[in-house]
Amino acid sequence: MNKHLALVLGLACVANGALAASSLVIASDRSTLVLDYLEVFIGGSKTTYQANLVSTDNLASFTPISASAVGANSAADPATTPRLSLVNGNYVLEIPSVSVGSQTYAVNLVSSNNLASFSVDNGSLKSVGSSKPSSVAIAAVNSQTVGTSSIASSTQRTVSWVAPSGASATSYQIDAREISGVGKISTSATAGATSATLTRLKASTDYVVNVTACFNTACSVQATSTAATTTTPGEYWQLQGSGNGYAAVSKVVADGSSLSWVMRWGSEAGSSYSGRYQYYFKSNLASTRGIGIATTSASGTSTSTLGAFTQNTAAGLRNPCNGPDSTADCPSSAAYFINAIQAVPLTSNKMRIFFEALDATETAQPTRIYQLDSQDGLVGQDFNASSSVAYCGGVGSTDYMAGGSCAPSVTVGVSTDTGSKKSALSQARQFKIGWDWLKDWRWDEAVGTFMVITGADACGKEVDALFYATWDGSKWTVATDSAGCATPIVSAAHGPVLVPLGGASYKMYYEDQSGGTQSGKPLRFVYADGNWSGTAGSVDIGDWEPSAKARDVTFLWPDGTALDAQDEAGLGDHMVITPAATLDPQYMYVNLGGFDNSKWKAMSSGLGLAKLLNP
C-alpha cells in the first residue's frame, strides 16, 4: 500500500469484490464520484483501491472522502480503469470512462495540494461513444534471426485495428501504457488508417495498447477499443569481429584496457574534426600509462569507422608514479592514479575532462572526481597550461600539484573534505554526467544536470552502489536522506552508463554486482523520465525506475552465439555512443576479459565494440 496515500485518505484494507464501472452520482447538494477500482502508480509500485470523491461546487473540484485498498484484478479492462500517478509534481487522476446517467465521459482530475483535493482538467473532458475500433492486433517490427536468436525491434510495435462500425472516425489515437508503471507512448493516424507504428517504447516492458477513434476534430467525442497487450523484446548487442571468444573480437585501439569514453566532434570543433571521433581510454603503455587519447581519421557512423582509432602518444593524462604499491617515485603531493574518465565538450568552447583519481599520498587513499579544462578549445587533446607539451603528468611529474600546469580541481570530494569539496561519500569512483547529446553534442552547464556516481557512502551502508548528484551552477551536490547519508539509486551496482533518449528521458546501464563478480556481473538497465516527478524537464532522483524493474542485456559473439554469464562478466567498463545523434545506430565499447570472471584468468585483452542489433 502506498504510505502517503494511506495517510491522506485513512485507508482500511477490504477484500476485492465485484468491480463496476466508474460513475458520477448527482444529487441536489453534491455529486459523488465512485471509483470501484483505481490503480495507483506512485513510488515505482502499483497499488489498487476503491475510492469515493465528492464535489459541492458544481463539479469544479472534488475532495476524497473515503478509500479502501483492494486486491489487484487481472480482469479489469485497462481501457476503462482509472489511474492515479505523479506527473511533474502534481497528482493526476485519469478516468477514461465514467458513467453519468445514460452518457459516458473521460476526464482527468489534478491535485496540486498533496491529494487534499482535485480540480477538473476541463480540456481533458471527452464524450465517450459506443462505436469503437475492434480486433486490435500488435506485431513485431524489423524481425531478424542472428545465430539461433530471433530478434525484433526492442522499441517499436505495429498496431492494427478494424474501424468502428456505425460511425466514421476523423482520426485515431494509439496509446501504449506500461502495465506496471506510469510511462505512456502515443501516436496518431488519419481517418482511413487501420494501422500505425509505436516508437520510443521501452525494451523488455509490458504494455497495454488502446486505439481511440475520434469523431470530431477536437476528439471531444471518442470511443476506445478493448485493450490489447504486448511485451517488447530485450536488447541484443553483437560484438564485432569474427568467430567466438574475446580473442575473436576486433580491438578498437592497440593499447587499451578499460574505463573508456568516446565522443563525436560537432561542427563547432572545426571542419578538420567535425564528424570524427575521439577516444579517451586507460593506456597500458609504460610510457603513457594513465589516460590515452586516440582519434579516427574518418567520419561517419559505420562499424568500420567506429572501430579504428589511432593513439596520439603526445597527448593524455599520465600517472605521476608507477603504482599504489610503489610510491617512492611519487611527488610529495597530488600523486594521482587516474582511472575512469569522461571528456565533456562545453558550449563555452572548451573540453572539460572529468576523471576519477586515487591520491596515494593520503593514508586512506580515497578516490575523488576531479576536473581539468582543455587548452585547445573543443579539440580536447591539450590539457597542459605549459606551451612546451600537450600531455600532463609522467613519473615524478609535479604537473598535478597546486600551481602545476595541469592542476585539477575537485568536482566531487569525500566526507573528510571541507567546503564545497565535501560530500556524503567516502569513495567517489566511476561516474557519468547526463546531458542530451542528441540535441547538442556539447553540455551547456545547465542547472539541474545530473551525475551518477559509483561509490561508498560515509555512513557505511553501501560500499559499492550508484549515487546521485546534481549541478546547481557552481557545484555538484550528492543527494542525501534525512540522516545526511548518501542516497543510492541502485545498490550493489557499478559503472553507470547514461544514454539520452531525447528531451528529459534516459536509460542507464550498470553492472549488477548483487551476486558478486565471480558469479557474474550482468549488465542491466533502467529508464528515467524527467516528466514523472519534481521539476518538468529536469531528471530528479525520483524520476528513475527502481532497480526491481531493471532489464537484462543479451550479448552475442561475432558468430552469433550467446555469451554465458561468465563471458559477460568480462565485458566491463561499458560506454555507449549514438553517432548519428539519433537512437539508431547505437554502439557500445567494452573491456574484453580481465580477472573478474572465472573463465579468463588474465589481463584484459583490449577494448572491443558491440552494436545494438534491435534498436
Average pLDDT, the chain: 90
3-state secondary structure of 468: strand
What pLDDT score was predicted for residue 504?
92
Are 451 and 431 in contact by the 8 Å Cβ rule? The answer is yes
* Residue range 146-163: mean pLDDT, rounded: 97
Question: Looking at the domain 236-321+333-612, which fold is it?
Answer: Tachylectin-2; Chain A (2.115.10)
* pLDDT tens digits, one per residue of 298-353: 999 999 999 999 999 999 999 887 655 445 556 555 667 888 999 999 999 999 99
User: Could you please report the per-residue DSSP string of 133-170?
Assistant: -EEEEEE-SS-EEETTEEE--SS-EEEEEEPPSSS--S
Q: Which of 271-280, 324-333, 471-480, 511-520 is predicted least confidently?
A: 324-333
What pLDDT score was predicted for residue 537?
78
* Residue range 55-74: mean pLDDT, rounded: 90
Provide the grid cell at 260.
573508456
What pLDDT score was predicted for residue 516?
66
Question: Domain extents for the chain?
Answer: 3-124, 134-233, 236-321+333-612
> Which one, of 259, 470, 435, 448, lies nearest residue 346 by Cα?
435
3-state secondary structure of 555: strand
* Residue range 287-302: mean pLDDT, rounded: 90
What pLDDT score was predicted for residue 414?
96
What pLDDT score was predicted for residue 325?
45
* pLDDT tens digits, one per residue of 396-417: 888 998 899 999 999 999 999 9
* Residue range 62-72: mean pLDDT, rounded: 90
Q: How confident is the model at residue 20 (pLDDT cuts 50, 70, 90)?
A: low
What pLDDT score was predicted for residue 89?
82
> Which one, of 164, 160, 169, lies nearest residue 131 by Cα?
164
* Residue range 190-210: mean pLDDT, rounded: 97
> Which one, of 481, 482, 489, 497, lies nearest residue 455 by Cα?
489
* pLDDT tens digits, one per residue of 243-269: 999 999 999 987 777 678 999 999 999
What pLDDT score was predicted for residue 129?
87
What pLDDT score was predicted for residue 1?
33
Q: Which of 241-250, 278-287, 581-590 is predicted least confidently?
A: 278-287
* Residue range 238-245: mean pLDDT, rounded: 96
What pLDDT score was predicted for residue 36?
92
pLDDT surpasses 70 at 110: yes
Polymer length in residues for the chain: 615
Q: What is the DSSP letter of 579?
A: T
* Residue range 500-520: mean pLDDT, rounded: 85
What pLDDT score was predicted for residue 237?
99
Pick the CATH number of 134-233 from 3.30.360.10, 3.40.50.970, 2.60.40.10, 3.40.50.2000: 2.60.40.10
* Residue range 57-72: mean pLDDT, rounded: 91
Residues 6+ apart with CB under 8 A from 356: 338, 339, 340, 341, 367, 368, 369, 370, 428, 429, 430, 431
Q: Exposed/middle/buried for 23, CB within 10 Å: 0-12, 13-18, 19+?
A: middle
Neighbours of 55 (CB within 10 A): 20
3-state secondary structure of 420: helix
pLDDT surpasses 60 at 23: yes
What pLDDT score was predicted for residue 332?
57
* pLDDT tens digits, one per residue of 347-371: 999 999 999 998 777 777 889 999 9
* pLDDT tens digits, one per residue of 566-580: 899 888 889 999 999
The pTM for the full model equals 0.90
Q: Which of 15-29, 194-208, 411-425 is predicted least confidently?
A: 15-29
What pLDDT score was predicted for residue 62?
95
What pLDDT score was predicted for residue 14?
35
pLDDT surpasses 60 at 80: yes
Cα first-last separation, the chain: 36
Chain position carrying cell 534491435: 614
What pLDDT score was predicted for residue 42?
82
* pLDDT tens digits, one per residue of 24-48: 999 989 999 999 999 998 877 789 9
> Which one, of 13, 88, 2, 3, lies nearest residue 45 by Cα?
2
Q: Which residues of 216-251 are buried (b: 16+ CB within 10 A; e: fewer)?
A: eeebeebbbbebbebebbbbbbbbbbeebbbebbbb
Whole-number percent of the chain with pLDDT over 70: 93
Neighbours of 159 (CB within 10 A): 25
Beta strands in 319-448 (DSSP E): 336-346, 350-359, 367-373, 409-412, 425-434
